[in-house]
């Protein structure tokens, strides 16, 4: 009788058993979760068979939260406590949001942090917390469907998302209890879903028009590796804007008041429904009830096209810009992939096809294509497929650098740099005759060493005793595929070398990384000011030290009045450099340079005469 192997709960009995991983498309209007099962990637449905989860969260008085369709039902009756399209606010300051939306849809509150919060009857929430509520529902759906806890998740983001937006997305995942394996660009995920990474090499355009955002990405595929050549778009342009244009038309036709928020939301919902109807029909009947009176209006497909044409045109301008930036001609684009629910609109498909001079790819549901691509990549990341199937590279989570004079950080490898990576930079000595250098490796986004995390220190000894600034020390940072950092320093003339190996992320939780990044955003302006001040103070010290040495050697070249002028300017600089005004320090250095100009000139002439003593000009010409 054969033995049956029994494993501990949660542990695989066989090395080939699959780990559970999913891909999540965290969308502006709708969100989805997908997984690879039996070799096929597909989106996962809830208990009612619904795949799309509306990206809407309702905050009730009793502090309960509703997510999805249940939440969307409150948009008309309670719009201020029903948060939708929150993706627009991810990683954005209140000033950023106001610039895009002069009339804010919610009660935003500016806090001590740069992260704005939205006031609801259940308390104040940030865009990160709202997104975490959506992700939590998708996580629960995945675990119920797959029957076990998730090993990890890949979340997609627009290609144009900057560091702050990407970090906010990752923070939302962490807050939802997800192990975020990777954030990947939505256009890359869409191309993977179509299998374009396995087809012949070439240029792909990914046109992504979602509910609230638009982006166009130009990708080049070379042997299964994606390279983003250029991206453009608009973070505040999408299907929601189609709805608003239709809603305004409805209100004009029916003579409705714009000031009634509840009515506006009802009209907006009717506009969205009409848009969806006209994806397959020629005519949509719209019914609005206001003050007990029902009013109806008809919207034709032709009228819809007229209304939305200006918005579609706005999406084509970034397409031109992206192609120009990528230095790609239209006839070089071999495929156009359509992504996002708003690309269901026939007029959008027609206009995009006309522009790129080829029918766009619409074989996969545009709502699900991104989530499916993310699921395929998640499946690879957890080890369910051979590494050769898809190459995915990690990134440095926080910048790596070293301490320079004045408590300043010189960043060698910026955060989000793909690893493995090697970067080198040359440094020099600060003082005359310096024979050793202490190298302090730090991690973080702040400008001052005291605000960053220390990773380690090592010394480089045996530097030739040269004049300050003459020695050349090359410091090399190398991060391998496992995230191990090796820092080495080499003095170029002697070849002496020293180094240290550290684990950049060791001991840092995601919460600590989040805090360091939030701190860097919150203190950005004061950090820049502090860096400028410290740089001027270091330069002032160098100038004063060099001047003191020169006066000791050749002070007798100066008259009493000249010496007094230089001493006065030096004393003024020494006094100002202890203050907090970098401009005053810079001005004082300029004044000292001016009064010491005669002294510098005399010393230079004297040194030239000494060097030429016993020689004539013809000898130097002969050497040339």
Q: Catalytic residue positions?
A: 25, 87, 186, 208
Place of tokens 């130009």: 218
On the 0-12 / 13-18 / 19+ scale of CB atoms within 10 A, 163 is middle
CA-CA distance, 213 to 240, in Å (whole number)? Answer: 9
Give yes or no for a contact between 211 and 342, defined as CB atoms under 8 angstroms apart.
yes
How far from 407 is each of 373, 403, 449, 461, CA to CA, in Å?
A: 45, 6, 5, 21
Q: Within a 10 A sphere around the Cβ of 406, how many other Cβ atoms? A: 17
Residue with tokens 């302006």: 525
Residue bearing tokens 């050349």: 472
Here the tokens at position 404 are 């320079």
SS3 21: strand
Percentages (nearest 5) of helix, strand, coil residues in the chain: 40, 25, 35
Assigned token pair, 341 = 């629910």
CA distance 161 to 235: 9
563 by Cβ neighbours in 10 Å (0-12 / 13-18 / 19+) ranks as middle
| DSSP assigned state of 235 | T
Terminus-to-terminus CA distance in the chain, angstroms? 94
The total of other beta-carbon atoms located within 10 Å of residue 368's CB is 22
Measure the CA–CA gap between 183 and 393, rounded to whole angstroms: 11
Q: Which candidate, 358, 292, 389, 446, places its Cα nearest to that of 41? A: 389
9: part of which helix (H) or strand (E)? none
d(CA 284, CA 297): 9
Give the DSSP letter of residue 618.
H
How many angstroms from the chain centroid is the CA of residue 379? 24
- Write out 151-201 in H/E/C secondary structure: CEEEEEECCCCCHHHHHHHHHHHHHCCCCEEEEEEHHHHHHHHCCCCCCCC
Q: How far apart are the C-alpha atoms of 157 and 87, rounded to whole Å?
A: 10
CA distance 155 to 189: 10
């Amino acid at each position: 009788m054969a033995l049956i192997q029994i494993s501990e709960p949660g542990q695989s009995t066989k090395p080939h058993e699959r780990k559970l991983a999913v891909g999540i498309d965290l969308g502006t209007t709708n969100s989805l979760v997908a997984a690879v099962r039996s070799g096929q990637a597909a989106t996962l449905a809830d208990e009612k068979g619904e795949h799309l989860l509306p990206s809407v969260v309702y905050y009730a008085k009793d502090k309960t939260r509703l997510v999805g369709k249940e939440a969307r039902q409150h948009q008309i009756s309670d719009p201020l406590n029903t948060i939708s399209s929150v993706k627009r606010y991810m990683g954005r300051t209140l000033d950023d949001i106001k610039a895009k939306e002069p009339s804010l849809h919610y009660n935003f509150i500016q806090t001590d942090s740069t992260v704005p919060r939205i006031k609801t009857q259940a308390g104040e929430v940030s865009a990160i917390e709202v997104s975490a509520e959506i992700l939590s529902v998708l996580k629960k759906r995945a675990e119920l469907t797959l029957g076990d806890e998730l090993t990890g998740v890949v979340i997609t983001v627009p290609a144009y998302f900057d560091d702050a937006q990407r970090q906010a997305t990752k923070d939302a995942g962490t807050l939802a209890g997800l192990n975020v394996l990777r954030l990947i660009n939505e256009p890359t995920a869409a191309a993977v879903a179509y299998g374009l990474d396995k087809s012949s090499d070439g240029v792909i355009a990914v046109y992504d028009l979602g509910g609230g955002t638009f982006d166009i990405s130009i990708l080049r595929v070379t042997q299964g590796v994606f390279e983003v050549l250029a991206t453009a778009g608009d973070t505040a342009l999408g299907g929601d804007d189609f709805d608003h244009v239709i809603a305004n038309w409805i209100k004009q036709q029916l003579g409705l008041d714009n000031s009634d928020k509840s009515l506006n939301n009802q009209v907006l919902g009717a506009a969205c429904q009409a848009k969806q109807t006209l994806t397959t029909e020629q005519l949509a009947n719209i019914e609005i009830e206001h003050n007990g009176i029902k009013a109806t209006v008809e919207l034709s497909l032709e009228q819809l096209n007229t209304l939305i044409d200006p918005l579609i045109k706005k999406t084509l301008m970034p397409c031109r810009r992206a192609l120009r930036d990528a230095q790609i001609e239209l006839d070089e684009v071999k495929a156009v992939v359509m992504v996002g629910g708003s690309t269901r609109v026939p007029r959008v498909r027609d206009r995009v096809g006309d522009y790129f001079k080829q029918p766009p790819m619409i074989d996969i549901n545009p709502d699900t294509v991104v989530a499916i691509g993310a699921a395929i990549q998640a499946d690879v990341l957890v080890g369910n497929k051979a590494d050769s199937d898809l190459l995915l590279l990690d990134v440095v989570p926080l910048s790596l650098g070293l301490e320079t004079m004045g408590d300043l950080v010189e960043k060698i490898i910026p955060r989000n740099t793909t690893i493995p990576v090697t970067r080198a930079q040359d440094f020099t000595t600060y003082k005359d005759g310096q024979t050793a250098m202490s190298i302090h490796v730090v991690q973080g986004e702040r400008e001052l060493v005291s605000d960053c995390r220390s990773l380690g220190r090592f010394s480089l000894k045996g530097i030739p005793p040269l004049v300050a600034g003459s020695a050349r020390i090359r410091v090399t940072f190398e991060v391998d595929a496992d995230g191990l950092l090796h820092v080495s320093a080499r003095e170029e003339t002697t070849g002496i070398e020293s180094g240290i190996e550290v684990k950049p992320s060791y001991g840092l939780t995601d919460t600590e990384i989040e805090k360091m990044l939030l701190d860097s955003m919150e203190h950005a302006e004061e950090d820049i000011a502090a860096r400028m001040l410290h740089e001027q103070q270091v330069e002032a010290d160098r100038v004063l030290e060099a001047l003191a040495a020169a006066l000791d050697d050749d002070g007798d070249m100066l008259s009493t009045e000249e010496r007094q002028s230089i001493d006065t300017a030096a004393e003024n600089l020494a006094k100002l450099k202890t203050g907090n005004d970098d401009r005053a320090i810079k001005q004082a250095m300029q004044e000292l340079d001016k009064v010491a100009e005669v002294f510098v000139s005399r010393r230079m002439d004297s040194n030239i005469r000494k060097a030429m003593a016993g020689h004539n000009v013809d000898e130097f010409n002969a050497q040339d």
